[in-house]
Amino acid sequence: MRNKITNAISDFFFEYETPRQVLVRNRRVGVVCRLIQLGVLAYIIGWVFIYEKGYQSTDTAVSSVFTKMKGVGYTNVEGVEKVWDVADYVFPPQGDASFVVMTNYIITEGQSLGKCPELPGKHNCTSNTDCEGGSFKRSMTGICDNTTKTCEVLAWCPVEDDHHIPEPPLLMSAENYTLFIKNSVTFPIFGVTRSNLVEGIDAHYISKCLYHPEKSPLCPIFKMGDIISLSGFNFETIAKVGGAIGIVVDWTCNFDLDVRHCKPKYNFHGLYGNPDEKDKARASVGYNFRFARHYFEDKVQKRTLLKVFGIRLDIIVQSLARKFDVIPTLTAIGSGVGIFGVATVVCDLVLLYLLPKRQFYKNMKFKYTDTHGQEPDSEAGSTETETHK
């Protein structure tokens, strides 16, 4: 027993095992093997390294966005002239990455809390029994107005009439408003901070430039009409009932190159709606909300109600930075070397199970021994393994 243990330990430390390879001269199998290996090599080089850039590590940015609108609008409704500036048509006014620019509206002036009849066509009635309180959204008094044949309600009076949306939009001048976007991104893993005001974008350039996808692709000032057209919509159509547009600031950077090559690209998308203007069956079209300005007149609280139709702008920052790294490179190479084993597996299957001489190749590949009732000879301490190449 002691000798066996000593021999086992000696074999473990002082013997080396290596597989014996069998060279098979078969054109079909050789061609299959090389084709598979070429396919794996093309996959590793083309897909893993060139397309997916598996030799680089990646990072996404921490981003902040600041916006500023400029432009003045003018309306003349029934002889009433009004000038609209940024404080009037941008909601909210803080310069967020998401805001609404008013392009159309329905105004109801001089509303005060009281009792008044509903509009014709809403809550019609023939008697007071048709106006029981709590039956509808508004608080009804239970009285049927004999003049309008509608229920009396407790509300801000006169009630809003939003049946007819102004056409053309009242603030068509919004097409000429300009939007300034200031965006800063930081890639924490790589320790790089960039702004969309890149090299060459100074105060003098900004004072004269206007974004154009080909002539001025880095200008951070955008004309509203251009934003809408680049997103695939017609300005007058979307201005009438409102809509939502996404401005995507895309930071796709390769820090194996100089950091100055890391520059933003702008894309424009309609976030909902149909730019082909063919979808007439939807239940809700456009974007609108109500906004009230309250005031006192003769110690009576009153308000001016605006149903605002506007274009909601969402500034969306997308980022992906890459840089060479040893660890993903070694991982990609190791994975590729492992995939090369597929060629051996496939060729072995062809040799051992599909070819007419499969039994011959089987005998060449494997060595069978019968050790029952036999003492190990002088070569018993070694193991011979034959594999196919």
Token digits for 361?
A: 């190749």
In one-letter notation, the amino acid at residue 55 is Y
Whole-angstrom distance, CA of residue 143 vs CA of residue 128: 5
- Cα→Cα distances 45→50, 71, 224, 256, 336, Å: 6, 53, 45, 18, 9
- Name the maximum alpha-carbon separation found in the chain: 121
Nearby residues of 129 by Cβ (< 8 Å), 6 or more positions away: none
Nearby residues of 78 by Cβ (< 8 Å), 6 or more positions away: none
Give CA 17 to chain center in angstroms: 55
Nearby residues of 193 by Cβ (< 8 Å), 6 or more positions away: 184, 185, 186, 187
Beta bridge partners of residue 113, listed in sequence order: 156
Angle ∠(383,386,389) on CA atoms, nearest 5: 145
Whole-angstrom distance, CA of residue 56 vs CA of residue 222: 34
Peptide bond preceding 158 in cis form (omega within 30 of 0): yes
Going by the annotation, the residues of the binding site for ATP are: 68-70, 178, 288-290, 307
CA atoms within 13 A on the CB side of 376: 7
149: burial class by Cβ within 10 Å (0-12, 13-18, 19+)?
middle
Whole-angstrom distance, CA of residue 346 vs CA of residue 39: 13
Going by the annotation, the residues of the binding site are: 68-70, 178, 288-290, 307
Collapsing DSSP to helix, strand or coil, 93 comes out as coil
At 29, give phi and psi (nearest 5°): -65, -40
Four-residue CA torsion sign, 95, 100, 106, 108: negative
